[in-house]
Amino acid sequence: MDLMHEKEVEKLSERARTIRQHIVRMTHAAGSGHPGGSLSAVEILITLYFKIMKHDPEKPSWPERDRFVLSKGHAAPALYAVLAEAGYFPVEELLTLRKLGCRLQGHPSMTWTPGVEMSTGSLGHGLAVANGMALAAKLDRKLHRMYVLCGDGEMDVGEIWESAMLAAHYKLDNVTMYLDRNMLQLDGPTEKIMSIEPLADKWKAFGWNVQEIDGHDLREIVMATEHATQCHGKPSVIICHTVKGKGISFMEGALHFHGKAPKDEECTKALEELGVCK
C-alpha cells in the first residue's frame, strides 16, 4: 500500500474524531460498555478499515476479503462505529448498542452483526481464531491477510502464548497482530496487576517479527503494517503504544472509564472536546 499524503492523514484524522463521537454517544446511550479501551484503539481500527484492508461491505462474505478479529471484544463500540461508517449497517443503528433485541450485542457476535468476523468477549481467544483463518487461507492458496487486535490485559492469558507458538510454528506470515498497549486493565495498571514486560522480547523469543509504534500515529500504523506484510516466514506483532480513553481529556488514563459509560454531563463535555457544538 502507498504511504499517506497529508490530505489522506487529515481525512482519516477527521474520521477518527467521528468514531470517537460515536463511541461516546453509544456508551452513553447504552448506559454501560467500555469507552476507555475503545478510544485507545480508534486509530488502529480506522487505518485497517479505511486504508489497509481489502473488504467490501456490499459483499461481507467475499472469500478473498482480509479478516479482522477483535480479540479484545469489549472494544465493540469502536468496531461497530467503524463498521457502520464503512457501510456494513446504518450509522443510526449505533445508538441501539446493548438494547434488547438489537443487533449490536455488548460484545461482538458474528451471528448477530454484519461485518463481525468472529464472536469474541472472553479474552485471549482472538489470536488463535485468526491463526485458524490463516491456516485456511494457506490451504486454499489465498492471499488475503488476517488482522487481529489484542489488548495488553490479554497478555495475561495463557492461550495467547499457545497461539503465539502455533503461529510461529506454522509460519503464519499472513497474520498481523496489533497489541493495544494502553497500560491499563480493569483492576489497575498492567504492570501492577500482572507484569507482562518485557513484551517485545517475549514476542521475539516466540519467533515473531516485532515492531513498536505510536498507536495513535496513522502514518506509523500504515508503515508498520506494510513492513509486516513484507515479512515472510513469520507472523508479525505491532506493539501499539496508546492512551486509554484517548481524545477526551478526563478519560485519558482514567481507570474508571475502562468499563463505565459517560454520564449525561460527561457525555456533553466529551462531545464538546471532540468538536461537537451544543
Partner 1 sequence: MNEKWKMESQRKRYSKALIELGKQRKDIVALDADLSTSTQTAKFAQAFPERFFNCGIAEANMMDTAAGLAASGKTVFVSTFAVFGTGRCYDQIRQSIAYPKLNVKIVVSHAGITVGGDGASHQITEDIALMRVLPNMRVIVPADAPETYRVIFEIVKDRDPVYVRMGRADVPTITEEQDRFKIGKATIMHEGDDVTLIGNGIMVSRCLLAAEELKKHGIEARVLNLSTVKPLDEKIIVKSARETGAIVIAEEHSILEGLGSATAMVLGENASVPMRRVGIPDVFGESGDCEELMEKYGLTAENIVNAAHDVLARKK
Tell the smallest beta-carbon distance from residue 129 to partner 1 (Å): 4
Which residue shows C-alpha cell 464538546?
272
Which residue from 70, 104, 130, 261 is in contact with partner 1, where contact means CB under 8 A?
130
CA 80, 42, 98 angle in degrees (round to 5)?
A: 30
If one asks whether residue 158 binds partner 1 (CB under 8 A), the answer comes out as yes
Which residue from 18, 119, 176, 211 is in contact with partner 1, where contact means CB under 8 A?
119
If one asks whether residue 173 binds partner 1 (CB under 8 A), the answer comes out as no
If one asks whether residue 53 binds partner 1 (CB under 8 A), the answer comes out as no
If one asks whether residue 163 binds partner 1 (CB under 8 A), the answer comes out as yes
If one asks whether residue 166 binds partner 1 (CB under 8 A), the answer comes out as yes
Among the listed residues 165, 241, 242, 179, the one whose alpha carbon sits nearest the alpha carbon of residue 208: 165
In which order are the strands placed within the sheet that holds 175-181? 67-70, 146-151, 175-181, 236-241, 209-214
If one asks whether residue 132 binds partner 1 (CB under 8 A), the answer comes out as yes
If one asks whether residue 82 binds partner 1 (CB under 8 A), the answer comes out as no
The verdict on whether omega for the bond into residue 114 sits within 30 degrees of 0, i.e. cis, is no
Q: How far apart, in whole angstroms, are the C-alpha atoms of residue 247 and residue 239? A: 20
**Binding residues for partner 1 (CB under 8 A):** 63, 67, 69, 109-111, 117-122, 125-126, 128-137, 139-140, 158-159, 162-163, 165-166, 169-170
